[in-house]
Structure 1
Amino acid sequence: MRQVLTLIADPAVFTLDDAVAKQARAALADLGAQTAPADWLVPSIACDIGFDGLNDDQAQAAVAKALAGMPVDIVAQPVEGRRKSVLVADMESTIIQQEMLDELGDLVGARDRIAAITHRAMNGEIDFKGALRERVALLAGLDAGVLTQMIGRITYMPGAATLIATLKKHGVYCALVSGGFKTFTAHVREQLGFDEDQANDLIVEGGKLAGTVFEPILDKDAKHQALIRITAAKRVPVAASITVGDGANDLPMLMAAGMGVAYHAKPSVAAQARARIDHGDLTALLYIQGYRAEEIVVA
């Protein structure tokens, strides 16, 4: 079979079984596709269904309709080139559970105001650069030491450590590219084992946050350029990359990559990305690439 459709469940809330896989196969067959029996990547969590005779969008739409109401993610793609050699990941609300500017807003009594701007920027409603400058300005006068203190608030998305550990074991180059701040990306890179990190830098004057950020600001175009730079440096085509993010500033890199994954993303992002994970954890990125239970490093 030249195409493969992967079903992925969140093991905390739903168990995949043969009955669900048969429903998916039947939906494909009803449209005239040839299908293969379910190939279980991880029992009860993820399986592949090989198929021919439909394009990816047709297959995903048919199975999504058949499994409507089930907390199951569905990704269809060609079998060839499925495993990628480069990962470029957003950090906030993707690899970690926080938006760190929102957390910093707590310290100046402006969390709700900053969070509202963050939400609008991540949904593509307002310009990211302007939104970043506006939020950072509210932090002026804070002791620069609060950045290190805020590291203690970082918690990782379920599956993040396993994702990076597994990819690294299999020789994948992993980059963290964030519109957030270097203090936090450097910590996450070191803790999880990313190969590199790229982010914005806050300006500090006299030990205090100046309320400004060094230019140029790393935004959606910079993330896209990072993807191009990294794949060129590794001497692999952009098609050999997988990217993941949740916000509008991730869209260019999601659209350019061989596989761009919208992870629990804002509606405008989920609607445009090549693949979307609405239910599973970050190990879903392993199943999308066909990793099996015995290949996964549990971290």
Structure 2
Amino acid sequence: MHPTAFIVFHSAAPHPVEPARLRSTLAAAGHRVLSEEPFEDPGRSGSRWEVTGSVRQLRALVNPLDGNNARSEDPAVRALSISVVPSELVRAPKMLLVMDVDSTLIKQEVIELLAAHAGCEDEVTEVTEAAMRGDLDFAQSLHTRVKMLAGLDVAVIEQVRSIIELSDGARELIASFKAAGHHVAVVSGGFAQILDPLAAELGLDFACANDLGIEDGKLTGTVNGQVVDRAYKETMLRAWAGQLGIELGHTIAAGDGANDLDMVGAAGLGVAFNAKPALRDAADARIDLPRLDVIGNLVGIA
């Protein structure tokens, strides 16, 4: 039996020309399209094709057609994302989706919201952006930023929690995965004091984040215990998959920055969500639309 994989293409609007180019490219290389499942959901349009060939073969073919790599001045072409998804992932009886939190599950960076209360938002934002680009060691950057929060009243945590906004489609994505019998977790370089109540509200299976030091009702400017850096994010992905009895090839990891590189690389499908270049270049799939539930389209979960 010939191997197959799924080619998924999506954009903010239908593309009458690019799918034809894709079909022509596949046929010229001797690959057959076995099935097509078009989708039209909020904020995007696309289709998922099952195609003969290995993941490696198909990625080599479609990579030049992907809008991220296509040499075109046409913004419509550049907006088209084409991903190759392993068929064993799409057909897995149980999947584990692990997501970053700041700028992925939620729209904001929590540490910047806290820093606004401490009067050091610009300084913290500058360090955060450098860390997400991969220019700074994450653990070092975290300690530098958290130190600037020393002395903040603990009541600020609740104020920040109250203004957090989920990314568009996040709630729908989680609900669809859970309804299909799959598992969803989040791992964050942010803070458990913010994340844990949100994870409980969303019914997530697991959540892991840094623990802010607090004494006498004030932030100490430190974090307790293990720093959740890029290596630890991968550790948690593997640990949760093992705990659930899920093969690593049946996992999905999604994030936006350099701190997500290890878990995105280790997962069965690594997704870059409106990501920095370092992660966009390394991920198996990219989403450049402001809808997190496109992840469901990638693996056939409505």
Q: TM-score, normalised by structure 1?
A: 0.89
Residues 136, 213 of structure 1: 8 Å contact kept: yes
What is the CA–CA distance in structure 2 between the aligned matches of 1:50 and 1:23, rounded to whole Å? 16
Tell me the residue number matched to 2:88: 80
Which deviates more, 18-27 or 112-121?
18-27
Q: 1:69 aligns with which of 72, 75, 78?
A: 75
Amino acid at match of 1:147: I
Amino acid at match of 1:46: G
What is the CA–CA distance in structure 2 between the aligned matches of 1:280 and 1:201, rounded to whole Å? 29
Residues 272, 286 of structure 2: 8 Å contact kept: yes
What is the CA–CA distance in structure 1 between the aligned matches of 2:35 and 2:247, rounded to whole Å? 32
What is the CA–CA distance in structure 1 between the aligned matches of 2:290 and 2:284, rounded to whole Å? 16
What is the CA–CA distance in structure 2 between the aligned matches of 1:18 and 1:172, rounded to whole Å? 34
Which deviates more, 223-232 or 83-92?
83-92
Residues 193, 212 of structure 2: 8 Å contact kept: no
Residues 33, 52 of structure 2: 8 Å contact kept: yes
- The alignment's C-alpha RMSD in Å is 2.1
What is the CA–CA distance in structure 1 between the aligned matches of 2:220 and 2:163, rounded to whole Å? 22
What is the CA–CA distance in structure 2 between the aligned matches of 1:34 and 1:216, rounded to whole Å? 49
Amino acid at match of 2:207: D
Residues 89, 251 of structure 2: 8 Å contact kept: no
Structural mapping, 1:284-299, within 5 Å:
284-291=294-301, 296=302
Q: 1:228 aligns with which of 231, 238, 252?
A: 238
What is the CA–CA distance in structure 1 between the aligned matches of 2:33 and 2:178, rounded to whole Å? 33
Structural mapping, 1:4-43, within 5 Å:
4-10=6-12, 14=13, 16=14, 19-36=17-34, 38-42=36-40
Amino acid at match of 2:39: L
Tell me the residue number matched to 1:52: 52
What is the CA–CA distance in structure 2 between the aligned matches of 1:94 and 1:184, rounded to whole Å? 15
2:140 is aligned with 1:130: yes
Q: 1:256 aligns with which of 252, 266, 271?
A: 266
What is the CA–CA distance in structure 1 between the aligned matches of 2:197 and 2:25, rounded to whole Å? 45
Amino acid at match of 1:250: D
What is the CA–CA distance in structure 2 between the aligned matches of 1:154 and 1:279, rounded to whole Å? 20
Amino acid at match of 2:46: A
What is the CA–CA distance in structure 1 between the aligned matches of 2:163 and 2:46, rounded to whole Å? 32
User: What secondary structure sits across from 2:282 in the alignment?
Assistant: coil
Structural mapping, 1:155-194, within 5 Å:
155-194=165-204
Tell me the residue number matched to 1:200: 210
What is the CA–CA distance in structure 1 between the aligned matches of 2:101 and 2:222, rounded to whole Å? 21
User: What secondary structure sits across from 2:90 in the alignment?
Assistant: coil
Rate the CA distance shift 1:69–1:60 in 2: closer, same or farther, 3 A. farther
User: What secondary structure sits across from 1:155 in the alignment?
Assistant: coil
Residues 23, 66 of structure 1: 8 Å contact kept: no
What is the CA–CA distance in structure 1 between the aligned matches of 2:291 and 2:125, rounded to whole Å? 23
What is the CA–CA distance in structure 2 between the aligned matches of 1:266 and 1:35, rounded to whole Å? 33
Q: 2:151 aligns with which of 141, 149, 166?
A: 141
How far does residue 36 in structure 1 lie from its aligned partner after superposition? 4.4
How far does residue 18 in structure 1 lie from its aligned partner after superposition? 5.0
How far does residue 41 in structure 1 lie from its aligned partner after superposition? 3.4
Q: Which runs of 5 or more structure 2 residues have no equivalent in the other structure? A: none
Q: 1:266 aligns with which of 269, 276, 286?
A: 276
Q: Per-residue displacement from partner, 1:167-209 (whole Å, max 9, x unpaired)?
A: 0001111111111001221132123221221111111111111
What is the CA–CA distance in structure 2 between the aligned matches of 1:268 and 1:132, rounded to whole Å? 19
- How many residues are treated as equivalent by the alignment? 288
What is the CA–CA distance in structure 2 between the aligned matches of 1:153 and 1:280, rounded to whole Å? 19
Which deviates more, 24-33 or 251-260?
24-33
What is the CA–CA distance in structure 2 between the aligned matches of 1:56 and 1:93, rounded to whole Å? 30
Which deviates more, 26-35 or 245-254?
26-35
How far does residue 66 in structure 1 lie from its aligned partner after superposition? 8.8
What is the CA–CA distance in structure 2 between the aligned matches of 1:51 and 1:157, rounded to whole Å? 32
What is the CA–CA distance in structure 2 between the aligned matches of 1:31 and 1:98, rounded to whole Å? 44
Rate the CA distance shift 1:40–1:228 in 2: closer, same or farther, 3 A. same
Residues 28, 63 of structure 1: 8 Å contact kept: no
Residues 41, 47 of structure 1: 8 Å contact kept: yes
